[in-house]
Amino acid sequence: MSKQQETATMPLALSRAVERWDYDSSVKKMKPLVRQWKKATAELARELYLAKEYLNGQEGQYKDPDADDYLLYSWKSYCEEIGLSYQTANSWIKAFTPKELSDTGKDILMLEAPMKTEKAENLALMEARMEKVLRTGKRPADWTDKEEREYRRRKENERFAKLVEELNTPAIARTKHDYFADVLKKSKDIVNFKLTDRNQLLAQAMIFDHIDAYLKTFTNPETKAQAAFNLALRTRNHANEIAEMNVRFIESAPTAEGEEYDSE
Cα 10 off chain centre by? 43
Secondary structure class of 177 (helix, strand, coil):
coil
In a domain, 141, yes or no: no
In a domain, 207, yes or no: yes
CB count in 10 Å sphere of residue 51: 17
Digitized pLDDT (tens) for each residue of the chain, 264 residues in all = 445 445 456 688 888 888 898 899 999 999 998 888 888 888 999 999 999 999 988 888 888 888 888 999 999 999 999 998 888 888 888 888 888 888 888 888 876 555 455 565 677 778 888 888 888 888 888 888 888 888 888 888 777 667 656 555 554 444 456 655 665 565 555 556 677 777 887 888 888 888 888 888 888 888 888 888 778 877 777 777 777 777 777 776 665 544 444 444
Q: What CA–CA distance (Å, rounded) separates 177 from 244?
A: 8
CB count in 10 Å sphere of residue 212: 9
The pTM for the full model equals: 0.39
User: What string of DSSP letters covers 106-143?
Assistant: S-EE--SPPPGGGHHHHHHHHHHHHHHHHHH-PPPTT-
Is the same domain home to 3 and 104?
A: yes
Beta-carbon contacts of 181 under 8 Å, excluding residues fewer than 6 positions away, are: 236
In a domain, 134, yes or no: no
Domain finish residue from 112, 130, 155 = 112
In a domain, 166, yes or no: no
Domain span including residue 246:
173-252
Is the same domain home to 2 and 87?
A: yes
In a domain, 149, yes or no: no
